[in-house]
Amino acid sequence: MSQNQAMEARTPAIVNLDPEAVGQILINLGAAAALAGHEEPYSTVSDYCRVNEASSDELRFVRDMFSRKTAEIANRWYGGRDEAARLAVLSIAEALAP
């Protein structure tokens, strides 16, 4: 395995997602939940978000956020708990920076 392949293998899936597409899915999810009369968006995801081979990774991510345990999400999307924690600390530091 080349050094580039090793680096790609460690790249968390989360960095390949389009944040704008994730945001649009969430915006639409809230509207769909209201239209369906669901008390919680979780119900809308469970009832209407069908993931298949043609689904975008962004839709898979949103579905996973509402249907998987935190450890599964960390492993699948962030490259493990330690990497998820590192990214969280970086995000907080960036948000608090002047």
Segment 51-75, tens digit of pLDDT: 888 889 999 999 999 999 999 999 9
Q: Residues 6 or more apart from 60 whose CB is under 8 A from it?
A: 51
The pLDDT of residue 12 is 93
The DSSP output letter for 68 is S
> Span 83-98, mean pLDDT?
88
The pLDDT of residue 74 is 97
> Span 44-54, mean pLDDT?
82
The DSSP output letter for 63 is H
pLDDT score of 93 more than 60:
yes
Model pLDDT for residues 3-33, shown as the tens digit of each residue:
444 444 578 999 999 999 999 999 999 999 9
- 60 to each of 3, 13, 92, how far by Cα in Å? 29, 11, 25
d(CA 58, CA 93): 25
